[in-house]
Structure 1
């Protein structure tokens, strides 16, 4: 009997432990503690991100999105993922169907839903990574260094955030994101890192 209880206890400890899912706001979107509540003037947000030594990233989400829920429940709630994002990124959340006013880099002011339409965002989650400098005639989607459309597991998500944080898109080494991600998968499989 004691062996069975010990085995059950050991099995319970081996199960993954998820952190709590972020609370949901009045707009029906999850509110991670590392998300910024700004006036959504992307030029100001970029300047503030740069002042903090972080990269500006836009999270486009929508109420009732099962894939957004999956990302918040299974990926963004993980302490190492949350810590990496908080340390390296300035995250502004955009509601795919929202009416809050946004000022794009080109100076145009429009609602969140019109900005999403302008940026050709059709699905959520959609994560738009911005460079440190954006010309005043560019839109967010034109300036993006990478876009992560859809829900992905921890490894892919961390690899994309790391690839952007390390500015690997600038490197002329022939290692685009897919090659970088494949190499990181192999390194994880070989026990180099988690």
Structure 2
């Protein structure tokens, strides 16, 4: 009985370390997310000034897949460090009323922006180019979209593929081929 009590006490004490911070809006918060005025043109300019890529993550309160990503995938040091070093991440609430300014200049609520961009799943991450055409929204300008929750390898590979601008390279290595190659390299012990 003493062993069981000791085990349960240790497990209970470990829980706060595993908990992910939730904001007042019910969304998960990380140190690599930026608290901005949600003017995406300004966010893009700031990301560029820092030498980073702008990514917009769309989440919702109570999303089990968001929780999975924030508890199991995003905290992995390899991914968290990569995001922190290379990306400027702005969080949008799928059902939020906070006003944002889209890249095309339209001012609308977070929920209306998510609808405009055609986002149905959370989490979804829009990856934006360093320069956007005048009059194009974030949804129209995105170079990649991660619709939903994925494992560490897929998530890291997509962030890397975007950061390395592989979407703009000529050739036959779209993301799926790139990801398949990276899986093979990891299986062969050539990469981390």
2:8 corresponds to: none
Aligned position for 1:73: 71
The number of residue pairs the alignment matches comes to 176
2:21 alignment counterpart: 23
CA distance in 2, matches of 1:21, 1:130: 30
Deviation at residue 135 of structure 1 after TM alignment: 1.8
* Aligned match of 1:40: 38
| Residue of structure 2 equivalent to 1:152 | 150
SS in 2 for 1:56: strand
Instruction: Give the match's secondary structure for 1:155.
Output: helix
CA distance in 1, matches of 2:79, 2:58: 18
Measure, in 1, the Cα distance between the counterparts of 2:123 and 2:85: 21
Change (3 A) 1:132 1:21: farther
Structure 1 residues without counterparts, runs of 5 or longer: 1-18
In the superposition, the TM-score normalised over structure 2's length comes to: 0.90
2:134 aligned residue = 136
Question: Could you list the runs of 5+ residues in structure 2 that have no partner in the other structure?
Answer: 1-16
Alignment-derived partner of residue 180 in structure 1: 178
CA shift at 1:64, angstroms? 0.3
Q: Aligned partners of 2:157, 2:19: CA distance in 1, in Å? A: 22
The alignment yields a C-alpha RMSD, in angstroms, of 0.9
Matches within 5 A, 1:96-115: 96-115=94-113
* CA shift for structure 1 position 21: 4.5
How far has the Cα of 1:20 moved from its partner? 3.8
Q: Structure 2 residue aligned with 1:122, among 111, 120, 123?
A: 120
TM-score for both structures, normalised by structure 1? 0.89
